[in-house]
A and B are shown apart, each in its own frame.
Chain A
Amino acid sequence: MDRIIKARGLVKRYGSLTAVAGIDFEVGRGECFGLLGPNGAGKTTTVHMLCCVLPITAGDIEVCGLSARESPRLIKAMLGVCPQESNLDTDFSVVHNLASHARCFDLPKAEARRRAEALVDRFRLRDKADVCVDDLSGGLRKRLLVARTLVNDPAIVLLDEPTTGLDPQSRHQIWDEVRAMKAAGVTVILTTHYMEEAQLLCDRLVIVDQGRIIESGAPQALIAKHLGGQGTLEDMFLKLTGRQLRE
């Protein structure tokens, strides 16, 4: 299988605090890859290193054969990133958010506009196209954030808790979009606290705890391995990471 992402010995330290303590993983092209773990496990830190916004302390990540340390601009041009918390531009309307973000990828104005309009339709935001982001509901904002990840036609999409706080309808719509991305050959990296979501969408996943990968594999295979096939991914997750509260 063609490995589009290779992380080797990845470490992130902030002074004496180790957020990511040396993790290795590979993601195949077109795969949906899940990063699971309790709060503070190092998932978002890993995602931030992968999208080249956070310097790597040790180890490296290769994306399409490019090192995150050496070619951040080239890697970022291939990625679509949906952050955990909205960083939509509150000064702009829905459609202008998409167009403005697109232009940061060096797309000409007309092309940026065209892509923005197409995403507005695809994500069923047409009624809200000219509404300012401040006036959108949480669900619509998340939908717009996911739509925005696609403005640069990315090879890899990183979704950091894309469905947190959403109603079941919005959640299902985002799941449909993830499936559509996969169908289009896009590689998806997903972090989530919803085990049901991970089980539904992920081809493979890793469970991260205290900055290390403690288990990896396909969801069904992991349930079979740890619970003899009897139970859910959540049962297995709690079995591996314990019931103790984090943070």
Chain B
Amino acid sequence: MSLLRNISYRVRHVWRRNLDVSLFGWKSTVLPPLLEPLLYLFAFGLGLGAYVEKVRFHGRLTDYLTFMAPGMIAVGVLFHSIMECMYGSFVRMRYQRTFDAMLTTPLLMEDILAGEILWGATKGLFAGLAVLLVIGVWGLAAFPASLLVLPVAALSGLLFAGFGLLFASVSPYIDNLNLPVFFFINPMFLFSGTFFPLDNLPKWLRAAAWCLPLTHTVEIMRAATFGVLTTRLWWSAAYLAVLTPVVCYAAILLMKRRLIK
């Protein structure tokens, strides 16, 4: 476990470097996470939602827009954290040689990689917060229960950032990253209870959906925005809490192996 011992407070230098880049181009950093959910909410919630009967959630009938809103928080966290550590980290590693430059300072590779994951999670958390803000103002979320969204967004952000770095670590070329987008991210985006209740699916597909991490993020977030917190959620929390360190550890291990021969 020397991998863990090699992670120090210096991760903050990596995190701050990436934050600086984001702040320089703040318009492209801040606006998409704020506007993206509006796009989904308008297109699916208002447009498509007009054709949808009420959705049943926890025995209550609710309109489609309110049902899908928490799913958009989860999607925001997913996309922003996983993309940052897939494409962003790959570019910094391969094309910008940012890791090489940082490696000549007292930082070790583990610091750099942990810093990347932390940064990806930060972007995910920010995106989640942005969507929560939008749907909160829209009146689609119950408070204070909805504040539970934030710790779940932070944990899920770490998990998806870890997945992103893991995919980057095993992809020889940047084009290879299209594979996890198609086989992992898109199915999760569509089949994690984001747009419709999992009960609508055939039994085998429902079982598969429960294996996807985003399903558990959505599960807790929807319970939070509806203000119906049950003990069943502990299972989803446990799933995320166990998977996150495993994925992050694997990502750092494999990326280090790839870069330091």
Q: Which residues of A contact B (CB under 8 A)?
A: 14, 51, 53-55, 72-74, 76-77, 79, 81, 83, 85-92, 96, 100-101, 103-106, 152
Q: Which residues of B contact A (CB under 8 A)?
A: 10, 13, 16-17, 20-21, 24, 96-98, 100-108, 260-261
B40 to chain A, nearest CB (A): 29
B105 A100 Cβ-Cβ under 8 A: no
B104, B260, B261 — most chain A CB neighbours (10 Å): B104
- A85: which B residues are within 8 A, CB to CB? 97
Pairs A-B, 10 closest by C-beta atoms: A87-B97, A104-B105, A81-B104, A87-B101, A73-B106, A91-B21, A87-B100, A104-B13, A53-B103, A77-B106
A89 B101 Cβ-Cβ under 8 A: yes
A181 to chain B, nearest CB (A): 17
Find A101's partner among B21, B105, B261 (CB 8 Å cutoff). B105
In the complex, the chain B residue whose C-beta lies closest to that of A74 is B106
In the complex, the chain B residue whose C-beta lies closest to that of A54 is B260
Additional pairs, 6, CB under 8 Å, beyond known A14-B261, A89-B96, A106-B106: A54-B260, A74-B106, A79-B104, A87-B96, A90-B96, A100-B20
B95 to chain A, nearest CB (A): 9
B245 to chain A, nearest CB (A): 24
Contact A83 to B17, CB < 8 A, known contacts A55-B260, A104-B10: no
B26 to chain A, nearest CB (A): 13
- A86: which B residues are within 8 A, CB to CB? 97
- A51: which B residues are within 8 A, CB to CB? 104
Q: Count of A-B contacts with CB under 8 A?
A: 66
Find B24's partner among A53, A55, A91 (CB 8 Å cutoff). A91
A107 to chain B, nearest CB (A): 10
In the complex, the chain A residue whose C-beta lies closest to that of B102 is A104
A163 to chain B, nearest CB (A): 19
- A91: which B residues are within 8 A, CB to CB? 20-21, 24, 96
B107 to chain A, nearest CB (A): 6
A103 B103 Cβ-Cβ under 8 A: no
B98 A89 Cβ-Cβ under 8 A: yes
- B102: which A residues are within 8 A, CB to CB? 104
Find B20's partner among A53, A73, A81, A92 (CB 8 Å cutoff). A92
- A83: which B residues are within 8 A, CB to CB? 100-101, 104
In the complex, the chain B residue whose C-beta lies closest to that of A88 is B101
- B13: which A residues are within 8 A, CB to CB? 103-104, 106
Q: How far is the CA of A96 from the CA of B17 in the complex (A)?
A: 10
A96 B20 Cβ-Cβ under 8 A: yes
B169 to chain A, nearest CB (A): 18
- A81: which B residues are within 8 A, CB to CB? 104
B16 A103 Cβ-Cβ under 8 A: yes
A101 B20 Cβ-Cβ under 8 A: no
- A152: which B residues are within 8 A, CB to CB? 105
- B108: which A residues are within 8 A, CB to CB? 72-73
- B98: which A residues are within 8 A, CB to CB? 87, 89
- B16: which A residues are within 8 A, CB to CB? 103
A11 to chain B, nearest CB (A): 14
Q: Can you show 19 pairs from A to B with CB atoms below 8 A apart?
A: A51-B104, A53-B104, A74-B106, A76-B105, A76-B107, A81-B104, A83-B100, A87-B101, A89-B98, A91-B20, A91-B96, A92-B20, A104-B10, A104-B13, A104-B105, A106-B10, A106-B13, A106-B106, A152-B105
